[in-house]
Every structure is written in structure tokens, then in C-alpha cells.
Amino acid sequence: MLKKITSLFQDNRVFAFLVVFRWASLIPALLTIFSNESLFLPSLLVLLVAAFANGVVSMFHQTINGLVEKFPALLFVDLLFSAGILAVSGGSHSPYYLYALSPLLAGAFFFQLRGALVVSAVFTPLYLFACWYASQGFSDVVVLTTQLAGVWLLPFLFAYPSSLLKSVNQAKENLSAAHRQLEIIHDLTVLLQAAPDLISVQERVLGAVTTELGFSKAVVALVDPAREELGGWLVYPSQENFPQANPLPLKSENGEVVKALLNRNNFVSDHQILIQDSQLNGWLTQYKWFIAPLYLREHPVGILLVEESGFTKERESTLMTVANQAALALGTTILCIDRARRLAVETERNRIARDIHDTVAQSLFGIVYSLDACITMLPQKADDVRNELIELRSLANSAHDEVRRSIFDLWPSALTIELFMADLTNYVSSCCRPQSFSIIFNHHGDFNSLSSGLRRTIYRMAQEALANSARHSGAQSARLCLTIAEQEVYLDISDQGKGFDPSVALSRSQNREHFGLHGIQERARAMGGDCEIISKPNMGTRVMIYLPVTGHKHF
């Protein structure tokens, strides 16, 4: 029933209903035309004039309907005509009273409560003048008052359901649009699930935007998260003259499109430099685009350009809904590809690292161990052999250390706090053989929450500081305190050894082949942190390192 009532509110049907009402309102005049023979001809003439007006309205109802909606003031002509019919047919006693209400109902139907108020206010003086003209005064005040009440009440009674039905019709249209959006999203989701590769996903997104939403042209470009570049431009429908652009870094100076992507702003192009590629920019500036960044949570996925023709708020809302779904599909695909690529690289690194560890590293360790044994067993008189063996052991030990560093560089993300402590212990033990050297660990915070690069940096710094302590301090142990706060990392390494003059040691470390204390300071400052070395002869050494978690200083 509601659907029938809603469909009745369509303009053409409403106007048809009003036309039927105009014809039906002539029935009282037709029934009274024979009641007074002396007024038969004048009454017949008035009836014919009213019928002629109805005929014109019936024949040209579509044209009149459009004119009334476009120019509401035309209703005044009908109000004036109705008042004239009343004036010449008896005023308040005229059988054309219902006929005179036709333009009032039209105003109420088409323009709701405001229309009812205006037409009633305009018709009231016209009606009073018609009654006064017909009777040369106001003879029957009761009838006049009753009919005036009808002039005001009936339009408002029709205006309220008209307004209500219009709201229902608007709600139906909104519901239909939402249903259409859901259908498009469902179809797009099904298509994307079957897409075999990233280009297929792009093509199906563009197809949904153009074919399903009715836009004439669309372009999409994707972000490469590993390189932080925008590229992979694709247009739909496909065009032979569409240029192939090279990927561009995600920097605002590379055009308004990249700037919009970085700032997450939608905008409509206006012949700006959209992209810093002359051929692609020349092609894009031929059209006017609505440009929408595509994001998956906080991660930029790409950019969508839709030719802006016949663009409305409703179409924009539908487009953004589809764009969000497209961003989800594209972003998921890109992240899967990036994750697979990273996993392949890491797998290969681990394979190489294991190979080195199981072959070269073990062989070098065996050489060092055997040379140690040979040096111990040689008689005192074999000085030349001893010197050669010592030099060979030193060379093999250096090669072993370098291999360990290479292995660690190939393990960027597998370093846990347990491996951190175990590997440092093993490394320091190999540095000070045959003496024993222990490390007292004390750590707070989630080491595994740090990025793999920061974990590797912390390991390198701790490795060098502990190696210096094991080789040169004369102490039998060192203390390592690692504190990980929300924004900062603090690494504190200390021993109770013989100490040194930091100013002298730091100046020498600039010329050392290995990492060195000076290298620790430089690495810390490059990461946005700092390193302080406190030591005095015979008073031990303390290396205090501060690093920001994000790699930037906090003010």
C-alpha cells in the first residue's frame, strides 16, 4: 500500500489526479444548470468555459505540469480564473466552489505547506471580491465564513500528506541508492576475490567506477610501499594515447596528485600541475577530475581520478564508498605482494647466513682453536714458528669476527632479546680467549617491539663496547643495562677495569679499521641520539647511549 501511495506522488500522477478532480468538480454545476430556465444560457456558457479550460489542462497536462513546477507564479492565473468563475456564477452560492479549490489543491500538492499558505492567502481576497461582486455585498455571512474556512483548511489538509509522501519518496530513493551501493560493493568484492594479480584488481576497480557508477573515464595509480613511489598508472576505458609514466617519489613537489595523497585530501582538478611528468600531466589536464586518495588504515594505497561530469553529492558519496572498498582490495593485495617479497628476501638471507655459519665460520673457528693448541704445545725454542702461528691465529680470528658481522647483517629481523644476550656472550667470549669474561645483563621494556634496524644498531654498539671492555679493561666482567621506554632506548655498559683517557682513545679510534668508540658516537648521533663515554685511568669505564625509538629527536 505504501508503495502505491509513494508512486502516486510522482508529478505526472499527481497532476492527473488534479485534472480528474477538476472534471469531477463540474458535476454540481451540471446538475444545477436546469434548475432555473431563465439562467440556462448564462449557466451553460459558464460551464462550457470551465469545461474548455479543463480540456486545455487535460490535453497539455505534461507541459503545464513542467511549467507550474518551474514557474509557481502561473498558479495565480488559475486562481484568478477560478475567482472569475465564482463571480459570474453566484459567489458564495456558486456550484463552482469545489472547482475553485482546484488551484489551491495544486499549490498544496506541488509546494506542500508553504504552497498551501501562499495560495490560500492569495485566493482569500479574490474569493471575497468574487462574492461581493456576485451579490453586491455579503448577504450570507455564515456560508461565506464556512467556505473561507474550506479555502484555508482543505489546502493544508492536502499539504500535510503531500509533504509526508514526499519524505517517504525521498527515503525510498535514498534506500534505493544505498541498496545500489551495496550491490556494487558486493559485485566488486566478488570480482576482486577472483582477481589473479594486481593489474586485474586495478582493472576491476576501474570497471566498477565506470560501468557500474556511470562515470565516463577513470584512472588509478598505486603506491609501492617498499620504494615509497607512486606509479603503475592505468586508465579505463583503455586509450592508446595514454602515456606510460615512470614512478615518482612520494614528495609534495611531484604535483597536486601526490600532495593530495600525502595530505589525504579530495579535490577537483583545475588545470594545475597534477603530476611532474610532462606527458602524463598533458594528458590528464585535458579533462576535469575528481581526485580521491586511497588509504588502507594509515597506509597510502594509491590515487583514484574520476572524470568530473554530472557530479553530484549523491554520486560523490557512492563513489567514495566504492573507493574505500577499492582501497581495501588494492591495499590488501599490495601488502600481500610486499610481504611475500620481504619474506623471500629474508628467507634467502637466512639461507646464506646459515651456509656461512655452517661452513666458513665453523672452519675459521676450528683454525683458531687448533692454532691455540699448537702454540701451547710448541717448545720454547721454536720462536719463529710460534710467531708465524700467532700471526696466523690473529688473521684467522679477524676473519672469524668479520664473518660473524656478515652473518648478523643478513639477519635483520630475527634478533630477539634472548638471541641478543646469547650472541653477545658468545662473541665476547671469542674476543678474550683464553681468559674468561662474563656479562651481567639487566633489561627493561619490550626489545622485540623495536624495529629490526634499531635492534641491529643496539647490538653493534653493545658488541663494540663489550669487546673493548673484554680486550683492554683487565676486568673479568661487564654490566649491560638496556632500558626501552615508550619513545627512547637507553643502553648503559660499564666495567670496573683499568680505564683510560677518553679524549685520547676517541682521537685514535677515528683511524681504527674496526667500529671503534668514535664509531659508536657517530652512529648514535646519526640515529638522532647521543653517546657519552666516562672513564679515568684505574677507575673503570662507562658507555651511556641514548637512542630515540623513531630515529628522530624529541623536544
Structural domains in the chain plus CATH codes? 2-173 (no CATH), 195-338 (3.30.450.40), 412-555 (3.30.565.10)
Distance between CA atoms of 178 and 317, rounded to whole angstroms?
A: 10
> Beta-carbon neighbour count of residue 191 at 10 Å?
17
pLDDT tops 50 at residue 555: no
And the C-alpha cell for 273? 600541475
Distance between CA atoms of 203 and 150, rounded to whole angstroms?
A: 63
Distance between CA atoms of 542 and 499, rounded to whole angstroms?
A: 9
* Mean pLDDT within 114-128: 88
pLDDT tops 50 at residue 512: no
Quickly state the pLDDT bin for 196 (edges 50, 70, 90): low
The full 3-state SS of 241-308, as one line of letters, equals CCCCCCCEECCHHHCHHHHHHHHCCCEECCCCCCCCCHHHHHHHCCCCEEEEEEEECCEEEEEEEEEC
Distance between CA atoms of 43 and 165, rounded to whole angstroms?
A: 39
Quickly state the pLDDT bin for 72 (edges 50, 70, 90): confident
Q: pTM for the whole thing?
A: 0.40
Contact (CB, 8 A) for 525 and 509: no
Output 396-405 pairs: Cβ under 8 A, ≥24 positions apart: 396/364, 396/367, 396/368, 396/371, 397/364, 397/368, 397/430, 399/364, 400/361, 400/364, 400/365, 400/368, 400/430, 401/430, 401/431, 403/356, 403/360, 403/361, 403/364, 404/361
Instruction: Output the pLDDT for position 324.
Output: 80
The DSSP bridge partners found for residue 491 are 482, 545
* Mean pLDDT within 317-335: 75
Q: Which of 294-298, 329-333, 377-381, 502-506 has the lowest mean pLDDT?
A: 377-381
On the 0-12 / 13-18 / 19+ scale of CB atoms within 10 A, 143 is middle
Distance between CA atoms of 351 and 44, rounded to whole angstroms?
A: 108
The full 3-state SS of 388-423, as one line of letters, equals HHHHHHHHHHHHHHHHHHHHHHCCCCCCCHHHHHHH
Give Cβ neighbours of residue 284 (< 8 Å, ≥ 6 apart): 219, 269, 274, 275, 305
* Mean pLDDT within 47-67: 84
Quickly state the pLDDT bin for 511 (edges 50, 70, 90): very low
Whole-angstrom CA distances from 9 to 68, 164, 290, 323 are: 16, 10, 35, 34
Omega prior to 247 cis, within 30 of 0: no
And the C-alpha cell for 63? 507541459
Handedness of CA 199, 204, 205, 211 (dihedral sign): positive
Contact (CB, 8 A) for 495 and 437: no
Higher pLDDT, 252 or 429: 252
Contact (CB, 8 A) for 266 and 293: yes
* Mean pLDDT within 211-232: 85
* Mean pLDDT within 231-252: 88
Residue range 485-503, pLDDT digits in tens: 988 999 999 999 988 888 7
Higher pLDDT, 427 or 151: 151
Please calculate the CA angle 445-432-437 and round it to the nearest 5 degrees: 50
Instruction: Output the pLDDT for position 203.
Output: 80
Quickly state the pLDDT bin for 513 (edges 50, 70, 90): very low
Q: Which of 251-265, 291-305, 397-411, 454-468 has the lowest mean pLDDT?
A: 397-411
Q: Which of 48-52, 83-87, 296-300 has the lowest mean pLDDT?
A: 296-300
pLDDT above 70 as % of the chain: 74
3-state secondary structure of 312: coil
Residue whose C-alpha cell reads 502561473 in the numeric block = 74
Instruction: Output the pLDDT for position 347.
Output: 65
* Mean pLDDT within 85-110: 86
Contact (CB, 8 A) for 85 and 94: yes
pLDDT tops 90 at residue 188: no
Strands (DSSP E) along 309-385, which ranges?
Answer: none
